[in-house]
Amino acid sequence: MSKESRVIRISESIFTRLQSHAEPLVDTPATVIEKLLDYYEEFKKNNRRNKEINLTQENSIIKKINPDYPPDLRYTKPKKIIIDWDKAEDYYDEHEIENWHQIVAIINRIAREEFNSFEALKKLTAFQIKPGIFTNNGFVYDKKWGDEDFPFSIQRVEANKAWLGSLEMAKKLNRKIEIHFKWLDNEKAAFPGEEGILSWSPDENSQPLAWE
């Protein structure tokens, strides 16, 4: 049984345009229209898919970063730290994390909790530290994360060294560490305006980093 057909009327100019897309001795007006409809529908579908992909990319600006090989962390601001420490809530709130040195201070304070001597801490830390309170040559004593009974000062470092040093210490201590941060809207930043997560957990590595 043949398919039902309908009669449509088109202008001479449109018919001429259809002829320009027809394959001689093969196409009829109906097959040319069908080809044009197929092309249009496929184009529309692909265009919608591309818009969905672009929207997903725009909304998915949080980058999960390889902790051992991060991109340039200069021009970044940490927003939150998650770390395996039972006293974390007593010493800091995620909204108080404003710079990388605070993260360095926290990981060193955790190490301080495990050792009772400056020499032991000095062997473990990845940073330059001095016993006592110093405020010169880049050294800082942070009252928030310091210890009045065991004061020590830490020399400030830039963001890349702050993260890699903190990661090294977390591995030695065998503790999870996770930093949420944002690149500033600066043309020199690796990913201006975007956010990232740096994370390491003992669950992802069977053995803690050895140290002496």
Its pTM surpasses 0.85: no
- Please report, for the chain, the start and end positions of each structural domain, with discontinuous segments joined by +: 12-59, 63-204
CA distances (Å), 147 to each of 3, 143, 160, 163, 195, in order? 88, 7, 26, 22, 33
Task: Report the sign of the C-alpha dihedral through residues 149, 141, 174, 77, in that order.
Answer: positive
| Alpha-carbon span 92 to 99, nearest angstrom | 13
CB 144 within 8 A of CB 158: no
CB 19 within 8 A of CB 8: no
Q: How far is CA 186 from CA 73, 79, 161, 195, in A?
A: 12, 17, 20, 13
User: What contacts 89, CB < 8 A, 6 or more positions away?
Assistant: none
Q: How far apart are CA 206 and CA 171, in angstroms?
A: 11
Long-range contacts of 60-66 (CB under 8 A, 24+ apart): 61/193, 61/194, 61/195, 62/194, 62/195, 62/196, 62/197, 63/191, 63/194, 63/195, 63/196, 63/197, 64/196, 64/197, 64/199, 65/196, 65/197, 65/198
Is the Cβ–Cβ distance between 159 and 151 less than 8 Å? Answer: no
pLDDT by residue for the chain (212 residues), tens only, comes to 456 777 888 888 888 887 777 777 567 888 878 888 887 777 666 555 544 444 444 455 688 889 999 999 999 999 988 888 766 555 555 556 889 999 999 899 888 888 878 888 999 999 999 988 888 899 988 776 556 667 889 999 999 999 999 999 999 999 999 999 999 999 999 999 999 999 999 886 544 443 33
